[in-house]
Chain A
Amino acid sequence: MYFYSMKKSSLYKGCLEPILLRLLKDHGRMYGYQMTQMVKDITKGELTITEGALYPLLHKLEEQGIVETETEMNGNRMRKYYSLTKAGKKQTSIAMEEMKAFMQSLEYIVNPKIALG
């Protein structure tokens, strides 16, 4: 549900939240479509976030006070921007640490020599 990425979708489940938090931390404020495009560009098309996964997560983060929104006119339509709150910035640091620890653990499993060495 989170990603459409052919065979690897199950591998990326659960990573969407830290990915979005990282993007918002690096770029300040972003709108929904921009996030999907940026993830696609960074991963060279390997990951594609669906709208049905992106917006529910953004709503959840907004409700938890991790992100805040502001709406602006963009040409002939409204555009909603998302940015991290103060609590959101703290949460991002925690999420990044957890992500690193998780990747380290995976590395140990995938490459046991590193763990032994």
Chain B
Amino acid sequence: MITDEQLLKIDSYCDEFGSQYLDVKEEVQDHLISFVENEIEENVIDFEHAYKKMKEVFPKEEFNMIIKSKKICLEKKYTKLIENEFLTFFNPPKIFLTIGLILTACFFPLIKTIIHKDFQVIILIAFLITLYVIIYPRLKRLQSFNDSKKKPLLSVKVKSRYEIFVRIVIILLHLSNTIRFFISDFSAIYLFKSFNPENKLTYFNLMLILVVLTFMFGWASVVVRDKMYEKIRNDYPSAFA
């Protein structure tokens, strides 16, 4: 068994070649240590000689290959997890809720009578909800980064890409509302209205539909993000210890 000091030396070698991520390091480091221990035992050489041999047998290219494959594996793993969690989130009650909210937004009769003041309140509420959805994951992510600052995880890096995607979708949904707010002749709305000869769907109805979609997507993304975070914590508890 090698000493803690020797272990640190192998640890630095791992860091040097980019496997500073704990999830990559935890398998590579043990492999290197086992190699060194085996060399010391079988060939009766000292640590320094075994370490030198290890560096020859395990060059940078080997690390790169392992890191690359780990990244691909994690991306696929989390993509699958996201898909499954999104599907689990949108169970029959939530699908009915989404459809119900969209139908309400489409045909709510009082909408036409609502004047600008109420309109602005709803916009403000939607904005605050979305802001929460955007800012809350960021705060949580910052916290998770602080937790694993000394032991970074490739999984966290991969997970943050998902958060960027969620923010882009939410911002796009909001932008579509904002554009509608400032540009009255938004062609997509006219296109939408052309399918609605009775002209039941107003600009305001359409805006509410986007608010509903933003809300449901935001809700789902927060739930999925938390599941991912929980999974990472369970897989690599030592990174958060």
Contacts and interface: CB of A to CB of B under 8 A. Distances in A.
Interface of A: 31-34, 37, 50-52, 55-56, 59-60, 62-63, 71, 74-80
A63 B77 contact: yes
B66 A37 contact: no
Nearest to B24: A55
A33 B77 CA distance: 24
B29 interface: yes
Contact of A77 (B29, B58, B65, B73): B29
B239 to A, nearest CB: 11
A76 B7 contact: yes
Given A71-B26, A76-B7, A52 B1 contact: no
Interface of B: 1-2, 4, 7, 26-31, 33-35, 38, 58, 61-62, 65-66, 68-70, 72-73, 76-77, 236, 238
A76 B4 contact: yes
A52 B122 CA distance: 56
Contacts of A34: 34
Contacts of B27: 31-32, 55, 80
A56 B62 CA distance: 10
A55 B26 CA distance: 12
A63 B73 contact: yes
B69 to A, nearest CB: 3
Given A60-B69, A71-B26, A77-B7, A52 B238 contact: no
Nearest to B62: A52
Contacts of A51: 28, 31, 58, 62, 66
A75 B6 CA distance: 13
Nearest to B237: A71
Contact of A55 (B2, B66, B77): B66
Given A63-B77, A76-B4, 4 more contacts: A52-B65, A74-B30, A80-B27, A80-B30
Name the residue in A34, A56, A59, A75 with the highest tally of chain B Cβ atoms < 10 Å from its Cβ. Answer: A59
B3 to A, nearest CB: 8
Nearest to A78: B26
A79 B4 contact: no
A80 B236 CA distance: 11
- A-B pairs, 4 with minimum CB distance: A56-B69, A33-B34, A59-B73, A52-B65
B66 A52 contact: yes
A62 B27 CA distance: 14
A80 B38 contact: no
A33 B28 CA distance: 9
B189 to A, nearest CB: 44
